[in-house]
């Protein structure tokens, strides 16, 4: 399968790893990114430098809010598949800078949907988030449960993306798949994520802050597992669930060509143990400051991945200590730490 695929957010963490894998499989990949300064641009440029040397890769520096540029790219590219990963990320940042999420996560996604409507790729896959589960407490989180109580604007914007995708699947028979990622980590990861922050602080001899008094649990998912799931789902365009009934609506599927999957490790890890794994990988202990739960945060995430496994015969399984060691090895090499 040598296809033409566009990946938005290609210079981002997941987009970078996904693009590498797609190119290695022989696909032609057009990467879109605006290289914004939400976190250090140098890291994005380093990822991009590795991609630019690979055959089949074309990079376009475009902001998704630039509708004419997006329309022109889709008209010229005639893409077979679209993987939309670009977004303004961060739960806490959404509390401080809410308007950034309106532009990127809503207007940007609408422009992608409109481009897909007019230029008809076989399948649009887009990034949602485990944060959509919000106030839900039934564990593990299931795609078949309602998610109507987000705790921060970031989560609300991702839920809105799922609703927007469904509307386009219904109106225009556009096959869409939403992916709820659970706390992705690994080499070239985002500097605003816990693993990066903790590793940097420990190496610099600074104490670290651990929220919810150390009782926070996250379903940490290694980036290679996320990418493997995406690659397997790319050709699996939904056709619509003939058993769907409006009297008992299933949020994960639809009469329209629409579906939702969780992608998580299916194994929540307490934050204190997570820190212990980092300390072990670094060979260095740290002072821990236990803090209360922050606004917008949920105390635990836990992915039910039964539907994913049924669909593609795969579920994430990288052990947390193995994934953290790989990140630490990369971090030391990249920052010469």
Would you name the residues annotated as active-site residues?
A: 154
DSSP string computed for 28-92 = EEEEEE---SSS-HHHHHHHHHHHHTSTTEEEEE--TT-HHHHHHHHHHH--SEEEE------HH
Report whether 263 contacts 308 (CB < 8 A). yes
Q: Indicate the pairing of strand 258-263 with strand 208-210.
A: unpaired
Quick one: 272 exposed, middle or buried, by C-beta within 10 A (0-12, 13-18, 19+)?
A: middle
Own/partner contacts of 47-50, CB < 8 Å, gap of 24 or more, are 47/11, 47/12, 47/13, 47/16, 47/188, 48/10, 48/11, 48/16, 50/16, 50/20
Q: Indicate the pairing of strand 269-270 with strand 217-218.
A: antiparallel
Strands annotated E in the chain: 4-8, 28-33, 57-61, 81-84, 123-129, 176-181, 184-185, 208-210, 217-218, 221-222, 258-263, 269-270, 288-290
């Amino acid at each position: 399968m040598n296809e033409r695929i566009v990946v938005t957010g290609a210079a981002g963490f997941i987009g970078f790893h996904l693009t590498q894998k797609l190119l290695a499989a022989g696909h032609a990949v057009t990467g879109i990114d605006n290289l914004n300064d939400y976190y250090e641009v140098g890291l994005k440029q380093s990822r991009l430098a590795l991609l630019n040397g690979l055959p089949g890769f074309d990079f376009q520096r475009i902001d998704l809010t630039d509708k004419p540029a997006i329309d022109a790219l889709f008209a010229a590219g005639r893409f077979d598949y679209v993987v939309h990963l670009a977004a303004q990320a961060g739960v806490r940042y959404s509390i401080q800078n809410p308007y950034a999420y309106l532009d990127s996560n809503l207007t940007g996604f609408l422009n992608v949907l409109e481009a897909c409507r007019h230029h008809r790729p076989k399948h649009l896959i887009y990034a949602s988030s485990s944060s959509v589960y919000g106030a839900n407490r039934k564990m593990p989180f299931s795609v078949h449960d309602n998610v109507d109580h987000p705790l921060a604007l970031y989560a609300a914007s991702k839920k809105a993306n799922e609703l927007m995708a469904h509307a386009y699947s219904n109106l225009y028979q556009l096959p869409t798949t939403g992916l709820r990622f659970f706390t992705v980590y690994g080499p070239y990861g985002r500097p605003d994520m816990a693993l990066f922050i903790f590793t940097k602080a420990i190496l610099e001899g600074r104490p670290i802050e651990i929220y919810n008094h150390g009782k926070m649990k996250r379903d940490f998912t290694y980036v290679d597992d996320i990418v493997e799931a995406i690659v397997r789902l790319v050709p699996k365009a939904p056709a619509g669930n003939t058993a769907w009934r409006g009297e008992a609506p299933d949020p994960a599927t639809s009469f329209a060509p629409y579906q939702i999957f969780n992608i998580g490790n299916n194994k929540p890890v307490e934050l204190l143990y997570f820190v212990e794994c980092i300390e072990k990988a670094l060979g260095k202990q740290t002072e821990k400051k236990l803090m209360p739960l922050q606004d917008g945060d949920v105390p635990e995430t836990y992915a039910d991945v039964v539907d994913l496994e049924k669909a593609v015969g795969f579920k994430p399984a990288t052990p947390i200590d193995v994934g953290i060691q790989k990140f630490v090895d990369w971090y030391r090499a990249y920052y010469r730490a």
